[in-house]
Structure 1
Amino acid sequence: MMDIRYHIATLIAIFLALGVGILVGSTVVGSDVLNDQQKKMIDQLEKQFEVLRQKEEDLTTRVEFMNGLLRHYEDFTEALLPSIVENRLAGMKVALVVSGGLDIPSGALNSLSLAGARIVSTTVILPGINLSSDSLRSKLAAAYGVGDKTSPEELRIQVGKTIGDIILNHDVQEIKRLLEQNDLVKFNGDYSILPDAVIVMGGASSLDYYFPETIDVPIINNVSGAGVRVLGVEVSDVKYSYMQVYQAQKITTVDDIDLIPGQVSLVLAMAGESGDYGVKPTAKKFMPSLPPGYAGGNR
């Protein structure tokens, strides 16, 4: 579309230049031969302009058709979703961790609910985790028993390990209160319940919130080291992806949980179909295969 518009703009500029040329030529030369040549050039340019205009019109029609087709596809997959995921995770206790400053898509939460999963806790990493405040870094250093000159990166690693401990119901209440009171982490839910699986949602819209190695990885390693399954997810259009970092930890990943295929992939992956799913170059497969007779849920 942009190439055609560029060519159209170029042709318009040529028309204007020819108009000036005709005016100057007729004033200076007044030659019928010159006028005939210029008229032929204008006729040729008009034909080219018409061809390009028709191509743009055809492309616009095609785009409108494809957008309509996409809407029908979305309606179809939304209607099909319940029959695929219903009760696939019945009774599974799930802890959510949200990193990177983005919200979990409501569709993903709805899919987990349809699948019968029970969200026991939601942990949200807040923007203050960039640890730009000297006084805050001093508080954390004192709480963790490390020196005042400990780097923000090392302090974030300690915070990540603490979040893992909290999810695993270890007794770190004092540090937990410190993290909450200083707006570093928000804790919601019942952390006395040990989850069957932990979903870590990453992906950042700004480098100000991009800390996968120093927050997400310590959480993943702590929780998975205790034998609890961890899955790493993000939305399809995130600016700064965490997928490569997550996959380096050998956990199952889904990079498009804002889309219904990604939500299906998440449920099936949690039910046992491990892999790296989604639409990005880091994905190994679009989504898990559906075995024959899979639709209909565990009835």
Structure 2
Amino acid sequence: MNINMKYYIVTICAIFIALGVGILVGFNLNYDQALSKQQSEVLESFNTEFESLKDKNKNLHSQIEDLNGELDTIKEFVDKNIDALTQDVLTAKNTGIILTSENNDYSEIVEDLIKKANGTVSFNIIVKDNINKEDKLSEISMSLNKTFESSSDVINYIVECLNSAKNYDQLYALENLGVIKINNLDEKKYQDYDSVVLLGELTGKDAKIKFDQKEKIILNKLKENNKYLVAANQSESDNTILKLYSENNISTIDNINEGIGKVSLTNLLKNQNVVGHYGTSDVSTEIIAYEK
């Protein structure tokens, strides 16, 4: 049988291809075994870490439950003893109250607290939303024979009236014009206030815009007059406004309707030298303000 050169070439190529495939398969088998081992080690490490995290999480949940139990006990104690804890704390202190939400007036909580702590409520007023409306600005300008072009002009005038014993009638004129509501106004001491509690709520995407148009102007004007400021709302309130106040270096309390919030407020108004954020919300950094 004659075997030509072409047969030798094909045979040799087949041998080399077979050798190459064998080498490649062997290499892949070794590589797959190494990779599989590495993957097993990684997965084992993950499982170990996961079990560790589960244990830590379980311990944290247990700690949180214990802390919540302790907090509930503290709240219950403070609620039962609020009068004793705040008695005479605000003696000789004159405090004003400004509410910026027309539809939810909880200023009576603060007013009652100040009086029970033997303090004086210099004034309790609501600043209404219409102070930046053109028709209202024109009405005020015409009635008071002054020029009011913006909400800033009206707020500045309100604060100026609160700072002067001669403007008692002017404040009632502003109420008659519908830009403020007077819940309480101490005829003899309204201008002698040293602190102001700012109350109110804001929600929605335009909260920052509304804040800049009213609340920020109020706080800036009061700061110019060296008044100590505390912003407060109730525990069920939206805390958007407190976040905005905190960004302006104002003390905040997120639970003024609770005993620990009331203790915080009286201590802050007594000392007037602390800027902090108190309560149990994400805005707060401490649970209660106390005299250190």
* Gap change, CA 1:78 and 1:136, over 3 Å in 2: same
Q: Which residue of 1 aligns with 2:283?
A: 282
Q: Which residue of 2 aligns with 1:189?
A: 185
Q: What letter matches 1:115 in structure 2? A: A
Q: Deviations over 1:250-289 (max 9, x none)?
A: 2222121111111111011112262221222222211124
Measure the CA separation in 2 of the matches of 1:140 and 1:240.
Answer: 33
Measure the CA separation in 2 of the matches of 1:282 and 1:72.
Answer: 22
How many residue pairs match? The answer is 215
Cα displacement (A) at 1:216: 1.9
Q: Which residue of 2 aligns with 1:180?
A: 175
Larger RCO of the pair (alpha carbons < 8 Å, separation 6+):
1
Cα displacement (A) at 1:290: 5.7
Measure the CA separation in 1 of the matches of 2:201 and 2:132.
Answer: 15
Q: What letter matches 2:220 in structure 1? A: N
* Gap change, CA 1:279 and 1:252, over 3 Å in 2: same
| Alignment of 1:111 onto 2:113 | yes
Q: Secondary structure at the match of 1:287?
A: coil
Cα displacement (A) at 1:70: 9.6
Measure the CA separation in 2 of the matches of 1:80 and 1:173.
Answer: 38
Q: What letter matches 1:83 in structure 2? A: A
Q: Deviations over 1:166-203 (max 9, x none)?
A: 22127667874553223120133136532121111121
Q: Which residue of 1 aligns with 2:135?
A: 135
Q: Which residue of 1 aligns with 2:199?
A: 201
Q: Which residue of 1 aligns with 2:65?
A: none
How do 1:1-299 residues align onto structure 2 when only pairs under 5 Å count? 75-101=76-102, 102-104=104-106, 106-129=108-131, 131=133, 134-140=134-140, 144-145=146-147, 155-169=150-164, 176=171, 179-187=174-182, 188-190=184-186, 193=189, 194-204=192-202, 211-239=210-238, 241-272=240-271, 274=274, 275-289=276-290
Cα displacement (A) at 1:96: 0.9
* Gap change, CA 1:137 and 1:289, over 3 Å in 2: closer
Q: Deviations over 1:118-176 (max 9, x none)?
A: 11211112354463xx5324334665536xxx5xxxx2222222222122127667874
State percent identity of aligned pairs. 16
8 Å contact kept, 1:156–1:214: yes
Cα displacement (A) at 1:207: 8.1
8 Å contact kept, 1:89–1:267: yes
* Gap change, CA 1:199 and 1:289, over 3 Å in 2: closer
Greater CA drift, 200-209 or 265-274: 200-209
Measure the CA separation in 1 of the matches of 2:136 and 2:277.
Answer: 37
Considering only aligned residues, what root-mean-square deviation do their CA atoms show, in Å?
3.3
* Gap change, CA 1:174 and 1:211, over 3 Å in 2: farther
Question: Mind listing any 5+ residue stretches in structure 2 that lack a counterpart?
Answer: 1-69
Larger radius of gyration: 2
Q: Secondary structure at the match of 1:103?
A: coil
Cα displacement (A) at 1:91: 1.6
Q: What letter matches 1:184 in structure 2? A: V
Measure the CA separation in 1 of the matches of 2:201 and 2:220.
Answer: 18
* Gap change, CA 1:219 and 1:172, over 3 Å in 2: farther
